[in-house]
Amino acid sequence: MTIYYSEDHEWISVDGNVGTVGITNYAQNALGDIVFVEVPEVGDDFAKGDEVAVVESVKAASEIYSPVGGKITETNGELEDNAALVNSSPDGDGWFFKINISDSGELEGLMDADGYKTFIAGLE
């Protein structure tokens, strides 16, 4: 399984042709206590960069963008009742959706873990 990161602070864990998407620890930390998450519908199609989900925290609302194009195959229903999972486990149980990747070439524009660490270090 390979994990990639976007400049919008989403991560995608790729297993075969399916990507699991969430937000990074950096993003959840910047948002603060998350109180609501709206995920996409299973079967919806999105292009790379499309707004796919919304996160609301005590500080602000933020859009979540798809790091790749494809069709949503699964959403994390636990977030409906427990949005705080994004804070407690942003790179684990707090995932948002799974997407069937339509063009694996789109992964090439994303960062690996070291690249993302360098990227966020430049933001501070």
The CA distance from 36 to 12, in Å, is 21
Kindly report, residue by residue over 15-40, the tens digit of the pLDDT.
Answer: 999 999 999 999 999 999 999 999 99
Q: pLDDT value at position 43?
A: 98
The CA distance from 101 to 88, in Å, is 27
Q: Where are the domains of the chain?
A: 2-104
Q: Say if domain 2-104 classifies as CATH 2.40.50.100.
A: yes
Kindly report, residue by residue over 59-87, the tens digit of the pLDDT.
Answer: 889 999 999 999 999 999 999 999 999 99
The Cβ of residue 53 has, within 10 Å, a number of other Cβ atoms equal to: 23
Residue 1 has pLDDT above 90, yes or no: no
